[in-house]
C-alpha cells in the first residue's frame, strides 16, 4: 500500500476489528446519549422552572404533574424532530456555530406546537403563563450551553482518539490528495484517514491498454488495502474529466462494503454550500443556493417595514431640522437623488440629504475624498455623523433598499469594478442597505485601490452567505454605537 504517514491519523493497530466495532458502538452511543440528555434536560427544566416560579409567586410548588406533562411533550417534539433531522450525528458536534441557529429555530417551533396542543386540548388555562415564559427562556439558554459543552468535550475526545466520526481511505493523484487534505483538514471534523493510495502517473502518449493495465494494478492494490483496513468510505480524488478511471473504480469498489465518494474538483473550493440536488429524475450538482429563501426574504422585509416606519416617526423632528439647515446653507435642492443598482441590478433612485454643491449622476461620477472642496459646511457635518443617509428610509419603505445590506454605488462605479473585481456583481443578489457588514468594519469612503474594494466585496459576500435577523440587529447597533461605524466618513 502506498500510504503517506502524514495523511494517516489512525495507525495500523488501530484499524483492527475490535477498534472498528468500538468506533461503530461509540457513534451509536454518542447519538443515543445526546438524545436522552435532551429529553431528561427538558423535562427537568420544565419541572424546575414551574416549581421555582410558583414558589416565588405563590409560595407553593404548584402542580408538579402538569409541569412533568409539559416537559414530556416538549422533550418529545424537540428530541424526535432532531432525531429525524439527523442532528445527533457525531460530525454535527465538531463546531458550535451551526447549533446556534438550529437550536433556537427548533425550540421556537416546539413552543408553538405546545401552545397549539394546549389550545386544541383546551388546557391552556391550567398552565401559568409566567412559568411557561420562564421555562422557554431558561431551557433555551440551557440547551445552547449544553450544545457548547458537548462540542468542547467532543473536541477533546477526538484529540485523544476516543471517538471518530468516520474512517476514510483516499485514492487519487498526489496533487488532488494534497489539495483535499489542505483544504478540508478532515481531522478537524473527527475524520480519520486510515490509508491513502496514490495513482501511478501515466504518460500522455501512453496507449489505452497501458493506461487500463496501470489503473487495474493501482486499484487492485487499493482493494487489498481497503479490505484489510475496512474504512467506512473510499474517496476517489481524480479529475472529473477522467471518466473512465472513475467508472472503473466504482465498478471495483462496489464489491466492498464501503461508501464510495467522488472527491471535489478544485473549482468547487470556491463554493461553500455545494450539494447534490434532485428535481424529479434529474440529478445535478448545485453550486449555490438562493441568497435568501422566500421565508427569509419575507422575514427581512417585514422587519425592514416595521423598523423603517418607526425610525421615520421617531426621527421626524431631526429630518425637518436637517432639511432646513441644508436649504439655508447653500443654494440647491434639499435632497440628492442618484441612480444606483439594486436587487438583481435593477436601477433605482437613492435619496440622501444633499451634502455637495454638485449633483453628479452621469457616466462619470467623481468619488468624495477627504476635505473634498465640493462639500458644503452642513454637508461635511452630515457625512461625519451619517445623518445624510437617513432619507434612505423612504427607499426602504418603497422596497428598493433594505436597512442592512451591501452599500450601493453609483452606476459608473459598478460598471468599472465589475470588470476588475471577481464576484463583484454578486453583491446585487440581495437588496442594498443603508448600512452593512463592510461599513461597520471601516470599509467605506474613498476607494483609491482595488484592494480596498476587494475587502469591501469580501465583507458584503460574507453578509449574504451568513444572513440572519440577529446579524442585521448587530450591524445596526454597531453602525450607531461603534467608532468603526463612523470611520472614513467624509
Q: What is the pLDDT of residues 379-413, one digit of tens each?
A: 889 988 889 999 999 999 999 999 999 999 888 88
Q: What is the pLDDT of residues 418-433, one digit of tens each?
A: 888 878 888 999 999 9
For 345, list phi and psi in degrees, rounded to 5.
60, 30
Q: What is the pLDDT of residues 449-462, one digit of tens each?
A: 888 889 999 999 98
The predicted structure's pLDDT at residue 12 = 38
Rounded Cα–Cα distance for residues 319 and 335 (Å): 11
**Residue 347 bridge partners (DSSP):** 341
Q: What is the pLDDT of residues 317-366, one digit of tens each?
A: 999 999 999 999 989 899 999 999 999 999 999 999 999 887 776 666 77
The alpha carbon of 63 is separated from its chain's Cα centroid by a whole number of angstroms, namely 42
Average pLDDT over residues 180-198: 81
**What is the tally of helices (H) and strands (E) in the chain?**
14, 10
Is residue 286 within 8 Å of 276, Cβ to Cβ? yes
Residue with cell 465583507: 459
Three cell numbers, residue 265: 474538483
Rounded Cα–Cα distance for residues 426 and 167 (Å): 38
> CA angle 148-475-489, nearest 5°?
145
Predicted confidence band of residue 160 (pLDDT cuts 50, 70, 90) = low
Is the pLDDT assigned to residue 4 strictly greater than 60? no
Rounded Cα–Cα distance for residues 432 and 396 (Å): 9
Is the pLDDT assigned to residue 128 strictly greater than 90? no
Share of the chain above pLDDT 90, in %: 30
Distances (CA, A) of 103 to 29, 117, 120, 162: 21, 21, 26, 26
Q: What is the pLDDT of residues 377-386, one digit of tens each?
A: 998 899 888 8
**Three-state SS at 486:** helix
**Three-state SS at 233:** strand
List CB contacts of 212: < 8 A, sequence separation 6 or more.
248
Q: What is the pLDDT of residues 55-95, one digit of tens each?
A: 888 888 888 888 898 899 999 999 999 888 888 887 788 77
pTM, rounded to two decimals: 0.61
Distances (CA, A) of 389 to 183, 355, 364, 407: 41, 10, 22, 11
- DSSP alpha helices (H): ranges in 286-425? 294-314, 316-329, 377-384, 392-398, 411-418
Is the pLDDT assigned to residue 18 strictly greater than 90? no
Is residue 397 within 8 Å of 416, Cβ to Cβ? no
Rounded Cα–Cα distance for residues 245 and 263 (Å): 13
Three cell numbers, residue 20: 472498528
**Residue 433 bridge partners (DSSP):** 402
Is residue 238 within 8 Å of 201, Cβ to Cβ? no
pLDDT, mean over the chain? 83
> CA angle 194-195-196, nearest 5°?
145
Three cell numbers, residue 401: 433598499
Rounded Cα–Cα distance for residues 433 and 400 (Å): 9
Q: With the C-alpha atoms ordered 88, 155, 461, 467, is the resulting torsion angle positive or negative?
A: positive
Amino acid at each position: 500500500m502506498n500510504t503517506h504517514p502524514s495523511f494517516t491519523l489512525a495507525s495500523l493497530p488501530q484499524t483492527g476489528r475490535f477498534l472498528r466495532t468500538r468506533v461503530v458502538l461509540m457513534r451509536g452511543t454518542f447519538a443515543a446519549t445526546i438524545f436522552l440528555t435532551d429529553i431528561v434536560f427538558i423535562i427537568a427544566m420544565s419541572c424546575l422552572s414551574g416549581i421555582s416560579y410558583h414558589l416565588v409567586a405563590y409560595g407553593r410548588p404548584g402542580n408538579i404533574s402538569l409541569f412533568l406533562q409539559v416537559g414530556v411533550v416538549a422533550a418529545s417534539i424537540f428530541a424526535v424532530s432532531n432525531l429525524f433531522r439527523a442532528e445527533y450525528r457525531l460530525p454535527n458536534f465538531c463546531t458550535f456555530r451551526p447549533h446556534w441557529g438550529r437550536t433556537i429555530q427548533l425550540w421556537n417551533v416546539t413552543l408553538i406546537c405546545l401552545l397549539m396542543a394546549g389550545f386544541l386540548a383546551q388546557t391552556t388555562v391550567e398552565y401559568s403563563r409566567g412559568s411557561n415564559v420562564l421555562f422557554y427562556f431558561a431551557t433555551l439558554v440551557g440547551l445552547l450551553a449544553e450544545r457548547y459543552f458537548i462540542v468542547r468535550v467532543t473536541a477533546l475526545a477526538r484529540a485523544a482518539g476516543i471517538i471518530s466520526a468516520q474512517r476514510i481511505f483516499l485514492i487519487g493523484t498526489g496533487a488532488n490528495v494534497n489539495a483535499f487534505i489542505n483544504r478540508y483538514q478532515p481531522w478537524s471534523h473527527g475524520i480519520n484517514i486510515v490509508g491513502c493510495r496514490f495513482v501511478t502517473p501515466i504518460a500522455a502518449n501512453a496507449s489505452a491498454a497501458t493506461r487500463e493495465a496501470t489503473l487495474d494494478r493501482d486499484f487492485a492494490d487499493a482493494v487489498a488495502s481497503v479490505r484489510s483496513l475496512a474504512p467506512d468510505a473510499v474517496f476517489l480524488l481524480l479529475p472529473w474529466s477522467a471518466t473512465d478511471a472513475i467508472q472503473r473504480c466504482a465498478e471495483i469498489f462496489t464489491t466492498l462494503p464501503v461508501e464510495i465518494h467522488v472527491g471535489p474538483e478544485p473549482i468547487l473550493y470556491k463554493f461553500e454550500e455545494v450539494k447534490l440536488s434532485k428535481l424529479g429524475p434529474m440529478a445535478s450538482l448545485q453550486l449555490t443556493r438562493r441568497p435568501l429563501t422566500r421565508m427569509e426574504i419575507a422575514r427581512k422585509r417585514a422587519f425592514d417595514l416595521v423598523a423603517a416606519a418607526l425610525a421615520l416617526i421617531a426621527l421626524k423632528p431631526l429630518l425637518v431640522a436637517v432639511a432646513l439647515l441644508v436649504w439655508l446653507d447653500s443654494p440647491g435642492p434639499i435632497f440628492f437623488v442618484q441612480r444606483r443598482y439594486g436587487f438583481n441590478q435593477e436601477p433605482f433612485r437613492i435619496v440622501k440629504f444633499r451634502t455637495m454643491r454638485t449633483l453628479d449622476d452621469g457616466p462619470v461620477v467623481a468619488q468624495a475624498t477627504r476635505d473634498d472642496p465640493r462639500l458644503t459646511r452642513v454637508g461635511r457635518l452630515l457625512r461625519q455623523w451619517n445623518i445624510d443617509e437617513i432619507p434612505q428610509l423612504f427607499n426602504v419603505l418603497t422596497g428598493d433598499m433594505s436597512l442592512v445590506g451591501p452599500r450601493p454605488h453609483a452606476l459608473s462605479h459598478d460598471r468599472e469594478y465589475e470588470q476588475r473585481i471577481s464576484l463583484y456583481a454578486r453583491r446585487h443578489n440581495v437588496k442594498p442597505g443603508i448600512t452593512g457588514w463592510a461599513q461597520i468594519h471601516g470599509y467605506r469612503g474613498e476607494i483609491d485601490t482595488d484592494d480596498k474594494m476587494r475587502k469591501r466585496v469580501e465583507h458584503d459576500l460574507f453578509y449574504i452567505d451568513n444572513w440572519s435577523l440577529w446579524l442585521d440587529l448587530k450591524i445596526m447597533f454597531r453602525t450607531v454605537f461603534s467608532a468603526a461605524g463612523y470611520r472614513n466618513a467624509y
